[in-house]
Structure formats: C-alpha cells, structure tokens
Amino acid sequence: MTSVQAILLGLLFGAIGASGSALFLLFTRPFRRTSNRLALGAGILVIGGSALCSVYILFYIGDRLGIGRDSSLHYASLYAYTASYLIIAMLGLRAESRWRKSIGQ
C-alpha cells in the first residue's frame, strides 16, 4: 500500500464519520426544536458512535492491509482522518449554528 492510498483511506473514513454526525443534526432539527429528549439522547450515541466506529474500521482495514501501528503509513492515514473529520464537522456545526440563528435559539 502506498502513502497516497493510506491518506485516501483516512480521508474517506473521516468524511464518513463526520457526515454521519452532520446528517443526524440535519434530520433531527424538528425534534430538537421541540427539545425532544429522545432525539437529544440519541444524538450523543450517533455522534460518538460514528466517530468511534469509523476510526475503528480504519484501524481494522489498516491491520488487514498490513500497515503496522508504528509505521508512517498508519500515521498518515490517521492524520488524514483527523483533518477530514474536523473539516466536515466544522461545516456541519456552521450549518447548525446558522439554523439556530434563523429560528431564534
């Protein structure tokens, strides 16, 4: 596996993990507007679960492809995961804050 492939793998799973959180925020807006405790509690599970599951799958695939935990390929994919997750999460949080401003919360 080349470093470009490891970076793309990290970018892919970072985007998947953050997109799961952003889609949850998007689809539960009506429920969160009425302060539905079930939707708020599920948010903790969905957001945390999407982040943990995506990084676990990234580690699992890296192990199956023979990427050692102390190798530069492992760290390259992990840094790419972190960068991708942060960028997409910031876009999701920006959309969420704009929605909250528009409804007056």
pLDDT tens, position by position, 44-88: 888 888 889 999 999 999 999 888 888 999 999 999 999 999 999
CB neighbour class for 46 (10 Å; exposed up to 12, middle 13-18, buried from 19): middle
Mean of the per-residue pLDDT values for the chain? Answer: 88
Q: What is the domain count for the chain?
A: 1
Q: Which domain holds residue 7?
A: 3-103
Return the percentage of the chain with pLDDT > 70, whole number: 99
Question: What tokens does 81 get?
Answer: 């995961």
User: How many Å separate Cα 53 from the centre of its chain?
Assistant: 9
